[in-house]
Amino acid sequence: MSVSRRGFVAGGAVSIALAGSLDSVFATSAGAGAPDVQGYGPLVPDPEGILDLPKGFEYKILSTQGDPLPGGGVVPGKHDGTATFPGSRHDDLRLVRNHEQGNSGTKAVARPEWTYDPAAFGGTTTVHLNRHNDVIDQYVSLAGTATNCAGGATPWGTWLSCEETEGFTGQTKTHGWVFEVDPTGRKTVAEPIEPLGRFAHEAVCIDPHDDTIYLTEDASGPFGLFYRFRPEARRGGYHSYRKGGVLQAMRVPGVPDLSAITEAGTVLKGVKWVDVPDPSAKVTSTRKQFTDITRAQKLEGAWWGRGKAYFVASYARKSSGAAGDHAGQVWTYDPKRNTLELELIFAPGGQFDSPDNITVSPYGGGVILAEDGDGEQFLIGTTAKGDPFALARNALNDVEFTGVTFSPDGRTLFANRQDGPGVTFAITGPWQRLDRHDHGHR
């Protein structure tokens, strides 16, 4: 670990926190004299050297790349976007997890009706857990897809798995689509939802009031867009998006690049939505079909919460053509007010950098971010005031965290280490402590 690597600085509504010393992140022998930190307190080094957590928290390893599956085959690699769903009983749940592989890695192998393109190695795994987070069963629930990075849960209880690609060598079918996975496996068919467009999909989140879906695109040359899809179907349900609708890209007048906004708390009004001429991108990539549009480098995670669509720009660099430099932005789009707000920004060289997957926390009024930056990797929590804190640290290697998501009852946070090998953690502890802490400081 490099002590000098990071020192968090951010403007506006985000406070300065975790200034970069070891004592501010980890518990030390200094005891009561150690610096005060936000969130759940300093991290306690894991004797096993796997996952550092605050005092009172613990983890369980659930599913590791290469583990044998009960029905045959092994757990694929590159664990990524994840969501949880209630099981068939009141005390169990199902976890659906992406595998971000193209045409290499530990291949996802599934039943023929769950396989789209036999040349592709990506897909999803469904893990069935009991109330103690013990694995009851796990199996590959989608295969033949490529670079399944993130996605999102639907209001009707399915998982949308997104391909972050527009194609790869050896493919037998087109790629760059979104696929729908039924956590029970009963309804899943490996067919793309073509109306959602073909591009380098990253993540999605859905407004449960009208089933409008918001989509991020991680792409360059030019940078990707933030999209929404307004469905024709009046009622959502499995594959309801396949019935059609309108795919649109966001345009903020006077803001061609979101990285130009550097002050947390900035609200952009008058958001416009422009129809995508050819969502299937038969000739030209969707992001290249516009001249007057709003772009962002490294658009990543998305999550619906508190009546808003949260989405992340992982970083921006002027040297790559961005309008400004930052080490991460968290934005919210409010459909009722039709406004875009910069909730959080990380400065280059800070304590944390390059947030990726995001989930809205049921505790403390903040979010939890999976870091994909340089050097050591953290799960980052934020308070209701926007103060960031270290929630967990990958103590094994410098591989990114992915797939942060809470169980439906909020008792367990699930997260993945993507590689080295890929593994899924179940993290439990005194989550309510953050609520009490924030309430006492209001």
- Please report, in tens digits, the pLDDT of each residue of the chain (442 residues total): 222 233 333 333 332 223 333 444 655 333 333 333 579 999 999 999 999 999 999 999 999 999 999 999 999 999 999 999 998 877 899 999 999 999 999 999 999 999 999 999 999 999 999 999 999 999 999 999 999 999 999 999 999 999 999 999 999 999 999 999 999 999 999 999 999 999 999 999 999 999 999 999 999 999 999 999 999 998 899 999 999 999 999 999 999 999 999 999 999 999 999 999 999 999 999 999 999 999 999 999 999 999 999 999 999 999 999 999 999 999 999 999 999 999 999 999 999 999 999 999 999 999 999 999 999 999 999 999 999 999 999 999 999 999 999 999 999 999 999 999 999 999 999 999 987 665 444 3
DSSP, res 217: E
User: 């690597």: which residue's tokens?
Assistant: 5
User: 């790349």: which residue's tokens?
Assistant: 65
User: Cα–Cα distance between 198 and 281 in angstroms, integer?
Assistant: 6
For residue 389, list its beta bridge partners: 381
Q: Which residues contact 289 (CB under 8 A, 6 or more apart)?
A: 276, 277, 278
The predicted model scores a pTM of: 0.92
Q: What is the pLDDT of residue 33?
A: 30
Q: How large is the C-alpha radius of gyration of the chain?
A: 21
Q: What is the pLDDT of residue 25?
A: 62
User: 């640290």: which residue's tokens?
Assistant: 393
For residue 252, list its beta bridge partners: 255
User: Cα–Cα distance between 249 and 389 in angstroms, integer?
Assistant: 33
Q: What is the pLDDT of residue 89?
A: 76
Q: Say if CB 25 and CB 390 are below 8 A apart.
A: yes
Q: What is the pLDDT of residue 34?
A: 33
Pairing of strands 299-305, 367-371: unpaired
Q: What is the pLDDT of residue 37?
A: 56
Q: Say if CB 367 and CB 360 are below 8 A apart.
A: yes
Q: Which two tokens stand for residue 162?
A: 């997104």
User: 């969501």: which residue's tokens?
Assistant: 83
The alpha helices in 298-353, defined as continuous H runs, are none
Q: Which of 429, 436, 327 is nearest to 388 (CA)?
A: 327
3 state DSSP class of 194:
helix
